Amino acid sequence: DIQMTQSPASLSASLGETVSIECLASEDIYNNLAWYQQKPGKSPQLLIYYASNLQDGVPSRFSGSGSGTQYSLKINSLESEDAATYFCLQDSEYPWTFGGGTKLELK
């Protein structure tokens, strides 16, 4: 199975700041990488698919990049509503696997 190592596990940032979250795959996943946001008590919401494609309705301050085994999610100009846990997902091969999650706290 492909292992997804996500970092950092937690992150604290201020409103207006820019943050990045990383995911490292155990092998090349050919850009088959998605990012999800999950708020407490809610279902995950798709942000980015195929490494850099913004899902409809997602604010443009979210962006994704990467290739091969290394991928990142960048959030520009943090807003209070961005406080959540973020997960990466590799959909290159079954079984699909998620990263461990990054909890983003707003100061």
Applying CB under 8 A, which residues contact other proteins?
1, 34, 36, 38, 43-46, 49-50, 53, 55, 87, 89, 91, 94-101
Q: Using H for helix, E for strand and C for coil, what is the string for the chain?
A: CCCEEEECCEEEECCCCCEEEEEEECCCCCCCEEEEEECCCCCCEEEEECCCEECCCCCCCEEEEEECCEEEEEECCCCHHHCEEEEEEECCCCCCEECCCEEEEEC
Shorter beta-carbon distance to other proteins: residue 32 or 69: 32
Shorter beta-carbon distance to other proteins: residue 24 or 46: 46
Shorter beta-carbon distance to other proteins: residue 44 or 63: 44
Taking the complex as a whole, how short is the minimal distance between the CB of residue 14 and other proteins, in angstroms? 26
